[in-house]
Amino acid sequence: MDKLYIRGLEIFAYHGVNPEEKQDGQHFFMDVTMWADLSRPRQTDRLEDTVNYAAVRKTIHRAFTAESYDLIERAAQAVCEAVLEEHPKVEKIGLVLKKPEAPMNASFDYVAVEVELSRRENGGTGQ
């Protein structure tokens, strides 16, 4: 299985348990890994034979900003489910969701969750 990557995707959203997070919002960063069979597009050089990064980015943005979640765990799950639903060539997705502005009284780079979801684990979504 081949891999496709989107690294450092920045999206502004309103996720968090504190009222100010839901009101003011903050920047989140994502590292996305998608597993797919890329044998055909490696031969044909045709966009329709592969996973379209731009289309996936739109799916991620829409899924991530459609609702305001308390937990980044739930937000990450929603993104993974949407990508599998809308992009049938993606067999598995891994997502590291980083929250650099988490409300903690400490100096840190970010807090994060890492979620992986495969088509089989998601009940065959998108097939």
Summarize pLDDT for 73-104 with one digit per residue, the tens. 999 999 999 999 999 999 999 999 999 999 99
What is the three-class DSSP state of 44? Answer: helix
* Separation in Å, CA 71 to CA 15, 18, 55, 96: 7, 10, 25, 14
Does the global pTM surpass 0.85?
Answer: yes
Reply yes or no on whether the pLDDT at 22 is more than 70.
Answer: yes
Which sequence positions are flagged as catalytic? 99
Residue 98: both structure tokens together = 């980083």
